[in-house]
């Protein structure tokens, strides 16, 4: 390396400073003499050199700002969506509760109407249990001997006959349903006044047996309690005939019966509080 360059390298700071001052002085001189021309040229040169990176930087900043703003907006929308979903779930649960309360109110109103119209004393009860095995068609009510309930009292709903009380504790009672295979109730066809015995059935709900062979029995006939079995008073709806069987050589005809009460949806019932003791084939079962 020549002595000149070594000297420049040694005093480079001073050289750079001196050169900068000289260039600044020259520019000031030129600006004083040719202010508009020099300034315009410098501006154009600076704009030409700096505009591309400035534009790129501005675009990058704007892009970052847009992405950030979109992210913030998306988070806000997502949170709002979650909040609205929560409110919808709460409202749906409330609607379901109100619908259930409305249905319960309708059922209780029907029970109240039955209670007011019945000539005997009735007490309302809720179904708190059902037979889990399905071998014995029974339900458990939340009324017992402390409420005056005893064995063989009839149990009904506004639709018709449910069954009879077969077991009692101080706070609960077990009811044998009409559809239990060992249950029995005296039946009367309203249209023809023909009598028979209604018994439970696993297959079809209930059947009417011991109908006279030549009696007029038709599909659609309504069957009510006959009042001759010892437990159930006369006139309680039992169900409707859905099929009639006349077997060759048989002494009686039989009929399939659709119960008036939907036992799968049984939630409330009423116990007929008749003070008279109940005895007869209905009290013993079939």
Each residue's pLDDT expressed in tens, for the chain with a length of 286 residues: 566 556 656 666 666 666 666 655 565 565 555 555 555 665 566 556 556 766 776 666 666 676 666 666 677 787 878 777 777 777 777 776 666 666 666 655 655 655 555 556 888 899 999 876 666 689 999 999 999 999 999 999 989 999 999 999 999 999 999 999 999 999 999 999 999 999 998 878 899 999 999 899 999 999 999 988 888 988 899 999 999 998 888 899 999 999 999 998 899 999 998 766 666 777 776 6
Please report the pLDDT score of residue 101 as a whole number. Answer: 63
| Contact predicate 170/144, CB 8 Å | yes
Largest separation between any pair of C-alpha atoms in the chain: 145
Please report the pLDDT score of residue 280 as a whole number. Answer: 72
Q: Is residue 63 a part of any domain in this protein? A: no
Please report the pLDDT score of residue 257 as a whole number. Answer: 95
Category of 151 on φ-ψ map: left (φ > 0), alpha (ψ -120 to 50) or beta: beta
Dihedral angle sign, alpha carbons of residues 140, 145, 146, 148: positive
| Number of domains observed in the structure of the chain | 1
Distance (Å, rounded) from C-alpha 13 to C-alpha 18? 8
Whichever domain contains 276, its CATH number is 2.40.10.340
Q: Is residue 200 a part of any domain in this protein? A: yes
Q: Is residue 134 a part of any domain in this protein? A: yes
150 φ, ψ (degrees, to nearest 5): -145, 175
Distance (Å, rounded) from C-alpha 229 to C-alpha 44? 117
Q: Is residue 28 a part of any domain in this protein? A: no
Please report the pLDDT score of residue 74 as a whole number. Answer: 75
Range of the domain at 162: 122-286
Q: Strand pairing of 268-272 and 122-130?
A: antiparallel
| Contact predicate 174/181, CB 8 Å | no
């Amino acid at each position: 390396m020549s002595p000149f360059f070594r000297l420049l390298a040694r005093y480079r700071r001073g050289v750079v400073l001196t050169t900068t001052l000289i260039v600044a002085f020259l520019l000031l001189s030129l600006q004083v003499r040719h202010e508009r021309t020099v300034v315009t040229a410098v501006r154009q040169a600076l704009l030409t050199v700096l505009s591309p990176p400035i534009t790129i930087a501005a675009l990058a900043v704007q892009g970052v700002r847009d992405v950030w703003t979109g992210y913030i907006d998306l988070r806000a929308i997502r949170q709002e969506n979650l909040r609205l979903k929560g409110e919808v779930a709460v409202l749906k649960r409330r609607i379901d509760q109100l619908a259930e309360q409305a249905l319960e109110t309708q059922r209780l109103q029907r029970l109240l109407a039955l209670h007011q119209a019945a000539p005997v004393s009735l007490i309302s009860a809720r179904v708190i249990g059902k037979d889990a095995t399905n071998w014995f068609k029974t339900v458990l009510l939340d009324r017992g001997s402390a409420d005056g309930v005893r064995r063989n009292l009839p149990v009904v709903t506004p639709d018709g006959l449910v069954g009879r009380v077969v077991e009692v504790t101080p706070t609960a009672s077990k009811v044998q349903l009409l559809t239990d295979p060992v249950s029995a109730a005296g039946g009367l066809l309203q249209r023809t006044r023909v009598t028979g015995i209604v018994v439970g059935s696993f297959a079809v709900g209930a059947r009417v047996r011991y109908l006279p062979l030549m009696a007029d029995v038709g599909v659609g006939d309504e069957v009510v309690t006959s009042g001759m079995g010892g437990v159930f008073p006369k006139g309680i709806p039992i169900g409707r005939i859905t099929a009639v069987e006349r077997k060759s050589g048989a002494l009686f005809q039989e009929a399939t019966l659709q119960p008036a009460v939907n036992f799968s949806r049984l939630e409330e019932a009423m116990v007929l509080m008749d003070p008279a003791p109940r005895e007869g084939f209905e009290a013993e079962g079939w």
